[in-house]
Amino acid sequence: MISVTIIGYGNVGSHLVKAIYGSAYAKITQVYSRSAFSLPHTMDHIACINSFDDLAEADCYIIAVPDDHIKHVSAQLPFTDKLVVHTSGSVSMDVLDPKNRQGVFYPLQTFSKNKDVDFKEIPICIEAAQADDLELLNKLGASISEKVSKITSDERAKMHVAAVFVNNFVNHLYHISEEIMEEHNLDFSLLKPLIKETASKIETLSAKQAQTGPAKRNDLQTIKRHTNQLTDDTQKDIYSLLTKAIKETHTTNERKL
């Protein structure tokens, strides 16, 4: 069994602690967070620390802090030649201080501290500067997930842009939709079956094939009515830009046919 220390007990750190706690390949020895925190009672044997000086020997240190702090945190670690990995989708592996052996352990999912996830379903993208370390990360990943992939920093950066479109942007569109419904005293939950069906269609159709709506059909009068109804300028801009993009995508397809 290998030993793992988690540095950062936020959205990702807390879920990693739970997942690795159930791993047959790894055990968590310490969890670090700047602010005071406690672990669930079942994990009483795991040390909670607030100072890098208290870090003990481990086979792997996973830094799960905001992207902009990874470099600084890795530079502060008071040891050398250990395997130190981060969990970011968009930060290159070599941002980690080279005094330690660098790696990445990126779980491709959206995490919120109080929302449970099934880690087995979550793709884990791994990268390491040394072959032995890649193998360790592969085994660690496979002990908590059924989907572990070796992905370079360049590939990960591109994948992260794609992930922002399907997760962060789509979620913001939910928010706009929620605001529109609330503004007119309508129940947002009426739209939930539509949200679920839109997500489930992608299992059997390509996104292009699944597209419906006024922009795809080129229903210009409906589009005009929609833009007139919107009162917020940013919402109008987003509606117009997405309508333009959908029209272009589907007009190009028709020309090709």
Q: Which residues bind ligand NAP (CB under 6 A)?
A: 8-13, 33-35, 64-67, 69, 72-73, 87-89, 107, 110-111
Among residues 49 and 176, whose Cβ is nearest to ligand NAP? Answer: 49
Among residues 12 and 39, whose Cβ is nearest to ligand NAP? Answer: 12
SS (H, E, C) 139-164: HHHHCCCCCEEECCHHHHHHHHHHHH
Token pair for 165: 């479109």
Distance in angstroms (rounded) separating the CA atoms of residues 222 and 199: 24
Among residues 34 and 236, whose Cβ is nearest to ligand NAP? Answer: 34
Q: Tell me the closest approach of the beta carbon of residue 46 to ligand NAP, in angstroms.
A: 15
In degrees, rounded to 5, the angle at the alpha carbon of residue 89 between the alpha carbons of residues 241 and 66 is: 100
- Residue 244 parent element (H or E): helix 233-256
Q: Tell me the closest approach of the beta carbon of residue 214 to ligand NAP, in angstroms.
A: 32
Biggest CA pair distance of the chain: 67
Among residues 87 and 100, whose Cβ is nearest to ligand NAP? Answer: 87
Distance in angstroms (rounded) separating the CA atoms of residues 238 and 180: 14
Q: Tell me the closest approach of the beta carbon of residue 67 to ligand NAP, in angstroms.
A: 5
Q: Tell me the closest approach of the beta carbon of residue 154 to ligand NAP, in angstroms.
A: 17
Q: Tell me the closest approach of the beta carbon of residue 50 to ligand NAP, in angstroms.
A: 8
Among residues 28 and 215, whose Cβ is nearest to ligand NAP? Answer: 28
The total number of residues shown for the chain amounts to: 257
Q: Tell me the closest approach of the beta carbon of residue 101 to ligand NAP, in angstroms.
A: 19
**Residue located via tokens 């791993």:** 23
Spatial neighbors of 240 by CB under 8 A, at least 6 apart, are: 227
Q: Tell me the closest approach of the beta carbon of residue 243 to ligand NAP, in angstroms.
A: 29
On whether the CB atoms of residues 175 and 140 are closer than 8 A, the answer is no
Distance in angstroms (rounded) separating the CA atoms of residues 114 and 99: 35
Within 10 angstroms of residue 236's Cβ, the number of other Cβ atoms is 15
Residue nearest to ligand NAP according to CB distances in the complex: 10
Among residues 9 and 119, whose Cβ is nearest to ligand NAP? Answer: 9
Distance in angstroms (rounded) separating the CA atoms of residues 204 and 37: 44
Among residues 87 and 243, whose Cβ is nearest to ligand NAP? Answer: 87
**Angle formed by the axes of helices 170-183 and 233-256, to 10°?**
130
